[in-house]
Chain A
């Protein structure tokens, strides 16, 4: 790149043009030698280089965008910009087919300081089982990897939360600009990620809102940043499955957690395993798949929980699909006080969990 400070505003400007991605931008750089030259090139030259449609996009952008202003805005947002030509641009991502030419990063994080990156992803609508697995895996694997995920509701949220709680480092890749956090309920979580030394990352200009079409490219970054992808729970059609297929294309390790055959939320993961993805039963499996030496316990053994007679009985009535408290109350035919006290004890011991809508499930 020519003098970075001179070029950067124009890279950012091109990043603001919907319809110009890594391919066309690369072409422009090749033809004109720099983003600035390309931005101010003659109509004719542009049309020759990238065709009429893209030329019109650039002409329109020239009318409405002021590169210097855009650059200053980014500065004001306290974001770092990484271009694909920068030293600090993550190595693993640079190696994928047509990596994003620009990344915005929030947080005091340096890709070159860390060697191992792992993506853990899954559905927005997990079962308690999925949540639990996501928590355990993330917590344990954060000692070996920087954990990458998508900051979405559901599994992603559990992943980031578990890592942050352990004091580990995690990266959230967003499908929108970094000025705001979507979903808003994860705002605090996003702050904690940064406080703990992690980062938020996006290829979209700071002010851009999330759009459905942003998510597949976002997923490509998640898998591109990582040596491997663990899918915790995912229905057949879901973002997590897209992340897995990108990982497959790029030759990254694809791993999946098996689930009950009746559970729609595990249809995707079970299918991945059937197709040859590595079966994950523990954090140790993941470490070994990626060539790291497992230094933890042989396998996390749940602490034995002491249960009384009533608790054991009530627990035996509760399954993984969930039962209404109503039903359980009838089945036990205990007085309300006794029933609710026993249920609360199970919940406090972390064995069962209440779901929105009134069902209780095994945790």
Chain B
């Protein structure tokens, strides 16, 4: 007897249908799986055999052949345990499908334990999303633990089960159920728990830079001694960005789902991600990779913030890999097995000390570096990655008394309102162009969108000359000035916008 069951697997953050064909026939007892399965899929034979026995069914003493199609698609993981087991039960006639079901509408995804329990797997959201678009009204049968994640998208009926026996009762019509429902809005209410800008005392200038970065999507560099609050500030950027829309949340959740990073009680990622990989990270872990390419930190930071603390400690070649995603907003990872594209659009925040010992310019501690060491250190800070940074901000270390002072600081919510306004202006301005934010502008856009008043132009040109700023600095200044003007809802860039933007280019000055 032959049974044909549908399942699905993830491909990047998309999904593809997999057909599980089970043939039970005469011959010496054997159990084999064909169709480009990986080692984890092979292991499912033992799980399926025990699960079937331990659920009150019997495993056929016949020749069992499972084919996973299409054959060219690499199948990985334990997702196919459930469809394989069900296929065997149908092929051996131990289960008879109730007439209200049609096998072509049923999709099964799940791992089995030896006792027949159905366990959750990664990547359910991409699969559910795919079904909702391509196979409207299909039924997705999976672990109860995956049900919430699967039910996040509309247009697919999700049923969650604890045990193989429960599925059998459902499919034979012994028990009727209605699809699993979740209130998506419920998950968005968690957002208010995140860290708030008001917890940072003082640091007016650094906070202002955060506001500008969040508004225009500008990448940012913090230069400051240890303990000055660089990490604390960076962590709060997500709270200044507009809340994720449902579509964005689903996109982010899909990435986290594929990476296996969703928590069971919060299966929808509703907060903007903040990722801070350590400087010992490999390039595969940063940009994505592995034999079967998984999303890296840059994709996990999609729609959020990627924070590289102690940026000079990262290996050069690791930093180099960031160029493509910074340019394209996505990354294509190719391995022998597959070529996969993951989205990767994030605000990059870098942090470093002002000098090798860390205390240059500190009010309380003496810097022990020689001028030559400082100059060398500074020169390390240049390079292709720094070329993408619009804002360079020094963060001084505050006195303890200032940090503990009781005073009213602006909340993230208040700042976010201004950020949202500035983003609306940008959306309207760039409606006809392929960019969204000021930080994305290329040279051609600068001419078109960065109109300066005559006075502002004069100030910009004379400062570039007097402060010996580079031509490169000129472009960064224009972009940032554009965002500052947007925050004030001004059409043209004025002198004080330019003056402020210049203050964020300290690395481009001539220091000797």
Instruction: Given A153-B375, A326-B203, answer yes or no on A356-B354 (Cβ-Cβ < 8 Å).
Output: yes
A329:B371 contact, CB within 8 angstroms: no
- Closest CB in chain A relative to B429 CB, distance in Å: 20
- Selected contact of A340 from candidates B354, B378, B496, B511, CB within 8 Å: B496
A340:B361 contact, CB within 8 angstroms: no
Q: Does A341 contact B (CB under 8 A)?
A: yes
18 pairs, CB–CB < 8 Å, chain A vs chain B = A185-B375, A325-B503, A326-B206, A330-B202, A336-B205, A337-B488, A340-B503, A341-B499, A343-B499, A343-B503, A344-B459, A344-B499, A348-B462, A356-B361, A356-B378, A357-B355, A358-B361, A358-B394
Those 3 A-B pairs whose CB atoms lie nearest each other, nearest first = A357-B361, A358-B394, A337-B496
Q: Which of A183, A322, A337 has the most CB of B within 10 A?
A: A337
Q: Does B448 contact A (CB under 8 A)?
A: no
Which chain B positions have C-beta within 8 A of A330?
A: 202, 204
Known: A341-B499, A356-B354. 6 other contacts (CB 8 A): A124-B370, A340-B502, A344-B503, A348-B463, A354-B506, A356-B378
Q: Does A114 contact B (CB under 8 A)?
A: no
Instruction: Given A338-B496, A341-B496, answer yes or no on A356-B506 (Cβ-Cβ < 8 Å).
Output: yes
Cα–Cα, bound, A153→B374 (Å)? 12
B511:A326 contact, CB within 8 angstroms: no
Cα–Cα, bound, A140→B150 (Å)? 80
Q: Does A205 contact B (CB under 8 A)?
A: no
Cα–Cα, bound, A183→B372 (Å)? 8
Number of interface residues of B (CB under 8 A): 38
Which chain A positions have C-beta within 8 A of B378?
A: 356
B205:A354 contact, CB within 8 angstroms: no
Q: Does B360 contact A (CB under 8 A)?
A: yes
Which chain A positions have C-beta within 8 A of B375?
A: 153, 183, 185
Tell me the nearest residue of chain A to B211, going by C-beta: A336
Tell me the nearest residue of chain A to B495, going by C-beta: A341
B500:A341 contact, CB within 8 angstroms: yes
Q: Does A9 contact B (CB under 8 A)?
A: no
Tell me the nearest residue of chain A to B208, going by C-beta: A336
Q: Does B294 contact A (CB under 8 A)?
A: no
Q: Does A359 contact B (CB under 8 A)?
A: yes
Q: Does A347 contact B (CB under 8 A)?
A: yes
B500:A337 contact, CB within 8 angstroms: yes
Q: Which of A327, A354, A357 has the most CB of B within 10 A?
A: A357
Near A by CB (< 8 A), chain B positions 491-512 give 495-497, 499-500, 502-503, 506, 509, 511-512
- Selected contact of B371 from candidates A153, A341, A344, CB within 8 Å: A153
Q: Does A157 contact B (CB under 8 A)?
A: yes
Q: Does B396 contact A (CB under 8 A)?
A: yes
- Closest CB in chain B relative to A21 CB, distance in Å: 27
Which chain B positions have C-beta within 8 A of A338?
A: 496
Cα–Cα, bound, A183→B459 (Å)? 33
Q: Interface readout for A159-198 with B: 1 if CB under 8 Å, 0 if not?
A: 0000000000000000000000001010000000000000
A358:B500 contact, CB within 8 angstroms: no
Which chain B positions have C-beta within 8 A of A154?
A: 371
Cα–Cα, bound, A39→B378 (Å)? 48
Q: Interface readout for B109-120 with A: 1 if CB under 8 Å, 0 if not?
A: 000000000000
